[in-house]
Amino acid sequence: DTEVTQTPKHLVMGMTNKKSLKCEQHMGHRAMYWYKQKAKKPPELMFVYSYEKLSINESVPSRFSPECPNSSLLNLHLHALQPEDSALYLCASSQHVPRNTEAFFGQGTRLTVV
Amino acid sequence: QKEVEQDPGPLSVPEGAIVSLNCTYSNSAFQYFMWYRQYSRKGPELLMYTYSSGNKEDGRFTAQVDKSSKYISLFIRDSQPSDSATYLCAMNPQGAQKLVFGQGTRLTINP
C-alpha cells in the first residue's frame, strides 16, 4: 500500500474562516511533507516533519499552521487566508533520512479562498 | 539559473511513438532521482525512482541517469493516450529531505 490520503478533496473558504486539511499514511514513513502547487507550476515545499517534529519551514506565513499529532497523521490549519493562497495543497511522505527513498504524494486538496 | 531545468513543452506525439523526456541539473550532490506523472487536478504519482547513475526499467518506462553529464531521462515506449499528463522530474542529495522539482513537461499522446 503506497497510499497517502488527503481530505477534503475540495475546500472553499472565506478570508475570515478557519479550516484544516488532513493527511494520513500507513506506510510507516517517518517524514511527512506539505507542498503547495499553483497551476502549471511544480510543487513548492512548505513544511517537513521528521519523527513528528517540524524540521523544515520554508518561510511560510503564519496563517498556515502545521501539526503532526502522530506518525501517521499530518494536519495543516488555515486561518485568515488570502485569495492568492488558492492552490492545490499536497501532502507527501517518505522514509526518514538518511535512508532517502521515494516520496509518495496524496491526491491533494484543491483550496479556493474567496 | 535554476538547479533543475526541464523543458515545459508542450510535447505532442502520435500514439505508439517513443517519448523522451529530459532534465538537466547543476548540483553535483544530487543522488536520488524521481519521475512523477501528474494528471490534471490530481496529485503527482511516482513512476520511477533511481539512485545514482544507471538505467532502470519498469514495463514501458525506462529511467536513465548520467551523473557525469548531470542529465536524466525518462523514455516511454509504445505511448498511449492515457500517458497524456505532465511529467515532473525531482531529485535530492543524500541526507536531504527537500525535493527539487523541474518545471514539468506537458505531454499529449494523440490517438
A96 pLDDT higher than 70: no
Question: A1 or A81: which carries more pLDDT confidence?
Answer: A81
Residue-wise over A18-46: b if at least 16 C-beta within 10 A, else e?
ebebbbbbeeebbbbbbbbbeeeebbebb
Whether the CB of A107 is below 8 Å from some CB of chain B: the reply is: yes
pLDDT digits (tens, 9 = 90+) for A7-32: 999 999 999 999 999 999 999 999 99
pLDDT at B97: 77
Among the partner residues B45, B96, B103, nearest to A42 by beta-carbon distance:
B103
DSSP B82: G
Given pLDDT bands bounded at 50, 70 and 90, which one contains residue B35? very high
pLDDT at A100: 57
Q: What is the mean pLDDT of the segment spanning B84-94?
A: 92
What is the widest separation between alpha-carbon atoms in chain A? 42
pLDDT at A97: 58
- Quick check: B18 and B75 in contact, CB under 8 A? yes
What percent of chain B shows pLDDT beyond 90? 79
CA separation for the pair A19, A55 (Å, rounded): 23
Averaged pLDDT score across all residues of chain A: 92
pLDDT at B43: 95
Residue A10 grid cell: 475540495
Q: Is B41's CB within 8 Å of A110's CB?
A: yes
Q: Is B43's CB within 8 Å of A42's CB?
A: no
Given pLDDT bands bounded at 50, 70 and 90, which one contains residue A101? low
Q: Is A105's CB within 8 Å of B94's CB?
A: no
Averaged pLDDT score across all residues of chain B: 93
